[in-house]
Amino acid sequence: MEARANARFVRMSPRKVRVIADLVRGMDVSAALDILKFTNRAAALPVRKLVESAVANAKQASSAVDESSMFIKTLTVDMGPRANMKRWRPRAMGRATRIVKGMSHISVVLGIR
């Protein structure tokens, strides 16, 4: 059995979220939640909420599921759209350059041992 959860349009750069995803990928859920709770990165909060959501989805599907037997099977971070968050920075000689604000789509799949 697998449990899934998705977080779309997270207002954070995928590069920053992937650091946290690499930290907990393949771990047991309880250990991953402990690490995410005490990780001092902004990206740890949405990843932790997403893992908790996947655990809740698994418990909703089957009440016999135990959190201690679950592990993070896959955790992927993809780039979201760039079209709606454009900003401009003034530069020398009257020019302007674009600042691209990143967005992420995060998805997690939990496996049960």
pLDDT score, position 113: 84
CA distance 61 to 82: 35
The candidate with the shortest Cα–Cα distance to 13, out of 77, 83, 97, 88, is: 77
Alpha carbon separation from 44 to 22, 28, 35 (Å, rounded):
11, 16, 9
Distance of CA 108 to the CA centre of its chain: 8
Q: What is the CATH number of the domain that holds 82?
A: 3.90.470.10
Domains contained in the chain, number:
1
Task: Write down the pTM of the prediction.
Answer: 0.88
Instruction: Tally Cβ neighbours within 10 Å of residue 111.
Output: 16
Q: Which domain holds residue 50?
A: 2-112
**Could you read off the pLDDT tens digit of each residue along the chain, which spans 113 residues?**
899 999 999 999 999 999 999 999 999 999 999 999 999 999 999 999 999 999 999 999 888 888 889 999 999 999 998 877 788 999 999 999 998 888 999 999 999 98
